C-alpha cells in the first residue's frame, strides 16, 4: 500500500485539493442548516487556497479538510454523524470516513462501519465520491437498528454492557506524517483513551480504556494509509460492578513522547531505544520491548539490547 509521503510526488496535489474544495462547497449547499455540516477548522479552506494559488509551498501546508455531517437516515428515528477527513491526495486516495451512532449496539456499529468501508472501496479512485457515500448512509443506516435499539435514544446499549478494560499495543513500520500524528492524538482524545504514541521508525502506539472505544480506535487507525500496522498485544480485564475504569489505567492522559531523536536517511528519524526500554520498564511493561524488537532490552545510554 502506498504511503502519503511517497504519493506526494506522484499526484497533482493542486488538482486534488481544488476538487476537494469544490466538493465541500457542494456539501455546504446540501446541508445548509446550522450544525448539519461542520468543518473541523474554519480556516482550512483559505490555507489550501493559498497553496493552490502558489502563495505557499506544500511543506508549509499544515492542515487538511475534515468535517462532520449529521445525516438523517431513512426510516430511522435517530440520525447518525459521518466523520470525514480528506488526505491531500483525495480523490486519488480514498477518504477517511467513519460513523458515530451512539444509539447503536457495539455489534450494529461494527457491522455498519465495515459495510461502509466496503462500499467506499467500490468507489472509483480519482472521482469525488462523498455525495455517494452520504447517500449510502442515508439509505442503509436504518437497516442496522432494531426497533428496541432505536427506542433507547441517546442512551447506548454499550453504556450498560461494556465492562471490559482493554489495553492495545500497536506496531507501525514508521510514523512520520504530521497528519497521522495529529489523528493518533485526536482519535484518542475523542474516545477518552489514555496511553502514548512514539513517532519515528519504528512507531509504537499504546491505547487503553473501555473495550468498545479501543476497538473503535483501532478500526479508525487502520483505515489510514500505512506501510505496515499490526497489533502486538491486547490485554483485557473485567471491570467489577463496584470498580472504576481509572483503577486499571497506567496512563493518565494520551500524549506523544520522544527520546533523544536522531536523524536518518531522508525523512527518517529514530528514538533512543535504551530510554524507551526504561520508560516501559518503569511502568512494568518491559516485556513489550522484546515483543516489538525480538530482543531483550536494557537502559544503557544509547544502547537498547543486552549482550
- pTM of the predicted model as reported, rounded to 2 decimal places: 0.73
- What are the grid coordinates assigned to 151, written together? 427506542
Query: Cα–Cα distance between 165 and 285 in angstroms, integer?
Result: 17
Q: What are phi and psi of 74, to 5 degrees?
A: -60, 130
Query: Cα–Cα distance between 132 and 258 in angstroms, integer?
Result: 41
Q: Check if CATH label 3.10.110.10 holds for domain 4-150.
A: yes
Asked if 81 and 70 count as a contact pair (C-beta separation under 8 A), the reply is yes
pLDDT in tens, 21-64: 999 999 999 999 999 999 998 899 999 999 999 999 998 888 89
Asked if 103 and 78 count as a contact pair (C-beta separation under 8 A), the reply is yes
pLDDT in tens, 178-236: 889 999 999 999 899 999 999 988 899 999 999 989 998 998 898 888 889 999 999 99
**Is residue 154 predicted with pLDDT exceeding 50?**
no
Domain definitions of the chain by residue range: 4-150, 162-271
Helix-helix angle 13-30:44-52, to 10 degrees: 140
CATH class, domain 162-271, is alpha beta
Amino acid at each position: 500500500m502506498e504511503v502519503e509521503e511517497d504519493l506526494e510526488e506522484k499526484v497533482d496535489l493542486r488538482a486534488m485539493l481544488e476538487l476537494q474544495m469544490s466538493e465541500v462547497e457542494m456539501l455546504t449547499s446540501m446541508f445548509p442548516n446550522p450544525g448539519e455540516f461542520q468543518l473541523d477548522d474554519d480556516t482550512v479552506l483559505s490555507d489550501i487556497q493559498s497553496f493552490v494559488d502558489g502563495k505557499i509551498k506544500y511543506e508549509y501546508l499544515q492542515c487538511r479538510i475534515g468535517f462532520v455531517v449529521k445525516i438523517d437516515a431513512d426510516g430511522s428515528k435517530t440520525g447518525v454523524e459521518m466523520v470525514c477527513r480528506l488526505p491531500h491526495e483525495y480523490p486519488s486516495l480514498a477518504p477517511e470516513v467513519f460513523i458515530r451512532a451512539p444509539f447503536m449496539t457495539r455489534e450494529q456499529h461494527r457491522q455498519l462501519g465495515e459495510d461502509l468501508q466496503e462500499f467506499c472501496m467500490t468507489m472509483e479512485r480519482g472521482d469525488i465520491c462523498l455525495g455517494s457515500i452520504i447517500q449510502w448512509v442515508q439509505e442503509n443506516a436504518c437497516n442496522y437498528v432494531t426497533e428496541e435499539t432505536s427506542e433507547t435514544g441517546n442512551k447506548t446499549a454499550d453504556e450498560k454492557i461494556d465492562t471490559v478494560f482493554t489495553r492495545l499495543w500497536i506496531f507501525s513500520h514508521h510514523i512520520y506524517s504530521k497528519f497521522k500524528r495529529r489523528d493518533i492524538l485526536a482519535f484518542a482524545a475523542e474516545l477518552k483513551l489514555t496511553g502514548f504514541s512514539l513517532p519515528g521508525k519504528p512507531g509504537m502506539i499504546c491505547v487503553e480504556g473501555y473495550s468498545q472505544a479501543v476497538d473503535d480506535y483501532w478500526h479508525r487507525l487502520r483505515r489510514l494509509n500505512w506501510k505496515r500496522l499490526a497489533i502486538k498485544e491486547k490485554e483485557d480485564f473485567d471491570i467489577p460492578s463496584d470498580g472504576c475504569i481509572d483503577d486499571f489505567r497506567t496512563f493518565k492522559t494520551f500524549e506523544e513522547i520522544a527520546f533523544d531523536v536522531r536523524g536518518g536517511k531522508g525523512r527518517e528519524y529514530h528514538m533512543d531505544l535504551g530510554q524507551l526500554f526504561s520508560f516501559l520498564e518503569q511502568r512494568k511493561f518491559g516485556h513489550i520491548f522484546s515483543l516489538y524488537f525480538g530482543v531483550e532490552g536494557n537502559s544503557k545510554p544509547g544502547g537498547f539490547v543486552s549482550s
